């Protein structure tokens, strides 16, 4: 292969044509529905755990307790992220061989049908072990489909875009993940309100999954009206397509190194900033600050609503000043600001907890031989030693604590402002935890339902200082997301030639987002649990964001002026 052209003269500015608007709408709408389907599971993981992992033993009693069922449900959710790169390989190859349009038509069918089947799948109480097995298979199909969807949609739109406007055109695709999450939250909240919480847990949770079949029908109908992308048609007519796109993309170093640079210098940092600003923020509110789920979801929904337009703004801006400065600038600013923003969220959302963290001295005093590592990102470990159980209890209670080594054989104790409470795991743990909780609350830690913790009375309860302040902080996090995510599709499309573009861009994108980003919430919380510091998990996105800044600055080329229709060598 030779470099036919790396730059092109910009076309004069003109309005979008009717065909271009249809391409963007069809691609974006379908991708919104795909993300909606994908996020439903994550939002309803606890309910799904009770429905599908509540398997009964021969004695008629559940084989797993509630915590274990929830862990299995979250692991099934994570499986969807893990297989995304494999979907990128499978469907990326098909997309480079057969075409963009038909490939992402297949991906949306797989996603939509899989999601609908979850809505009608009998639970474990009806079909036993078959229920979780089928659910996990459906989740894997969802991950594979999503792995093929994004690359196809982004490539398709970019190959329709005029020179000098790819950032703006593809930025509409970038809104879809956020809009899909937003749509799933709205449908869930609406259904919960309509049927009531008890009915929702029993059967109402199926409604959002069943609704997806309507979205699927609309999306398929719209996509059937589309034509293949001009760049792909031109390549096929000239007979210059790749016969082995995966081998050419990743088996030849000249192309594989670009994919590696795209991963480490663009998508890894973009992925962790994206998941911190949306998913970890939600997790932090609920699991660490103890904000109720209704309020936490509404706060996130408002920040997404206010921030979504900036995806398009930063995509447009990247056509003017370049992809690199916006993406890498977003990673750098986010890395600098994560600690102060999350601390400010704590100050506003749960001021009692913030004060307690600063003023209450808590220590776990134990024989070091009793204390192991609490790093447990998949949630499957069971702690048995007194030291480990005590520290696990404190971390789940959002208590900041220190570990103090005691002489060998010393019984484990928790000290709270100098008051020592002996701690024993096993049958005595439940009673001891009550004693510790009472002492913590007496020292200043918030009780359950503390009136100082933010709580929204209704969806429009946003004009108070507390709710407005949190939404502002969350909006800033979403702003970082839009900086790194708005231009990323154009940057990836422009890095690779037409013949291997679908395959080459999809893999680094889905490793960066599915692995570096998708596994962030569980890993970050495991870091919190292992250290006793509620902010320690933020080091995960900060380190990877800074890594991307350094690698991207030195190794990622600026691509905004490349002509993707003639560019033939990465």
Residue 479's nearest CA partner among 256, 178, 251 is: 178
Give start and end residues of each alpha helix (H) in 308-361: 309-321, 323-349, 351-359
Backbone angles phi, psi at 419, to 5 degrees: -85, 125
pLDDT at 68 over 70: no
Q: Hey, what CATH topology would domain 356-443 get? A: Glutaredoxin (3.40.30)
Average pLDDT over residues 78-98: 82
pLDDT value, residue 233: 74
What number is the average pLDDT over the span 117-121?
92
* The model's pTM: 0.85
pLDDT reported for residue 376: 72
Strands laid side by side in the 419-422 sheet: 402-405, 362-366, 413-416, 419-422
Q: What is the predicted pLDDT for the residue at 196?
A: 87
Between 310 and 32, name the one with better pLDDT: 310
Give the C-alpha distances (Å, rounded to integers) separating 102 from 138, 300, 506.
Answer: 22, 35, 16
Mean pLDDT of the 475-497 span: 93
Q: What is the pLDDT of residue 568?
A: 53
CA pair distance 523, 513, nearest whole angstrom = 14
**If 0-12 CB within 10 Å is exposed, 13-18 middle and 19+ buried, where does residue 401 land?**
buried
Q: Which residues contact 239 (CB under 8 A, 6 or more apart)?
A: none
Chain centroid offset of residue 560 CA: 27
Q: Is the pLDDT of residue 128 over 80?
A: yes
Domain ranges for the chain, please list them: 18-349+457-555, 356-443
Structure tokens at 346: 């704590």
Q: How far apart are CA 301 and CA 373, in angstroms?
A: 36
pLDDT, position 5: 41
Per DSSP, what are the bridge partners of residue 403?
364
For the segment 305-329, what is each residue's pLDDT rounded down to a tens digit?
899 899 999 999 999 999 999 999 9
pLDDT tens across 237-284, in order? 777 666 777 777 788 888 889 999 999 999 999 999 999 998 889 889
Asked if 209 and 116 touch (Cβ cutoff 8 Å), the reply is yes
Which structure tokens are listed for 279? 């998913």
Rounded CA-CA distance 372/356 in Å is 26
Tally of CB atoms within 10 A around 56: 13
**Over 70: is that where the pLDDT of 374 sits?**
yes
| Average pLDDT value over all residues in the chain | 85
Rg of the chain on CA atoms, in Å: 25
Superfamily of domain 18-349+457-555: MFS general substrate transporter like domains (1.20.1250.20)
With tokens 């009717």, the residue in question is 18
pLDDT of 325-358, one tens digit each? Answer: 999 999 999 999 999 999 999 999 999 999 999 9
Beta bridge partners of 363: 402, 415
């Amino acid at each position: 292969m030779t470099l036919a052209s790396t730059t092109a003269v910009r076309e004069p500015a003109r309005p979008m044509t009717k065909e271009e608007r249809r391409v963007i709408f069809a691609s974006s709408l379908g991708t919104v529905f795909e993300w909606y389907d994908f996020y439903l599971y994550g939002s309803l993981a606890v309910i799904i755990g009770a429905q599908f992992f509540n398997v009964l033993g021969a004695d008629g009693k559940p084989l797993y307790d509630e915590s274990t069922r929830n862990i299995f449900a979250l692991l099934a959710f994570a499986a969807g992220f893990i297989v995304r790169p494999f979907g990128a390989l499978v469907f990326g190859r098909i997309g480079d061989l057969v075409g963009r349009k038909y490939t992402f038509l297949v991906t949306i069918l797989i996603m939509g049908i899989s999601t609908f089947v979850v809505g009608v799948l009998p639970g474990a109480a009806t079909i036993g072990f078959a229920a979780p097995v089928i659910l996990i298979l459906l989740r894997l199909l969802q991950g594979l489909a999503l792995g093929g969807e994004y690359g196809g949609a982004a490539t398709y739109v970019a190959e329709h875009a005029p020179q000098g406007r790819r950032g703006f055109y593809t930025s509409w695709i970038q809104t879809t993940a956020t809009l899909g999450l937003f749509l799933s939250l709205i449908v869930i909240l609406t259904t919960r309100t309509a049927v009531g919480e008890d009915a929702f847990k029993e059967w109402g949770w199926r409604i959002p999954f069943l609704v997806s079949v309507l979205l699927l029908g609309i999306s398929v109908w719209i996509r059937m009206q589309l034509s293949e992308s001009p760049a792909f048609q031109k390549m096929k007519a000239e007979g210059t397509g790749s016969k082995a796109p995966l081998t050419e993309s990743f088996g030849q170093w000249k192309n594989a190194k670009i994919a590696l640079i795209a991963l480490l210098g663009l998508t890894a940092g973009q992925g962790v900033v994206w998941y911190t600003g949306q998913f970890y923020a939600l997790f932090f509110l609920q699991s660490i600050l103890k904000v109720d789920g209704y309020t936490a979801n509404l706060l996130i929904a408002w920040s997404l609503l206010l921030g979504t337009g900036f995806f398009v703004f930063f995509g447009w801006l990247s056509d003017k000043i370049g992809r690199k400065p916006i993406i890498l600038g977003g990673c750098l600013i986010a890395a600098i600001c994560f600690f102060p923003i999350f601390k400010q969220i704590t100050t506003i959302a749960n001021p009692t907890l913030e004060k307690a963290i600063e003023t209450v001295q808590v220590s776990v005093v134990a024989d070091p031989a009793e204390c192991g590592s609490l790093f447990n990102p998949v949630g499957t470990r069971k702690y048995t030693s007194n030291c480990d159980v005590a520290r696990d209890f404190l971390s789940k209670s959002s208590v900041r604590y220190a570990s103090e080594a005691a002489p060998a054989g010393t019984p484990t104790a928790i000290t709270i402002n100098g008051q020592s409470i002996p701690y024993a795991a096993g049958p005595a743990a439940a009673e001891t935890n009550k004693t510790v909780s009472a002492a913590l609350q007496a020292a200043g830690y918030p009780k359950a339902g503390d009136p100082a913790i933010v709580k929204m009375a209704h969806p429009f309860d946003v004009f108070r200082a507390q709710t407005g302040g949190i939404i502002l902080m969350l909006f800033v996090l979403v702003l970082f997301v839009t900086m790194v995510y708005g231009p990323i599709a154009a940057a990836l499309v422009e890095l690779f030639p037409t013949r291997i573009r679908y395959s080459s861009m999809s893999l680094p994108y889905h490793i960066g987002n599915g692995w570096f980003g998708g596994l962030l919430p569980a890993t970050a919380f495991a870091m919190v649990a292992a250290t006793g510091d509620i902010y320690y998990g933020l080091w995960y996105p900060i380190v990877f964001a800074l890594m991307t800044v350094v690698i991207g600055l030195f190794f990622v080329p600026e691509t905004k002026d490349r002509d993707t229709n003639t560019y033939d060598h990465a």
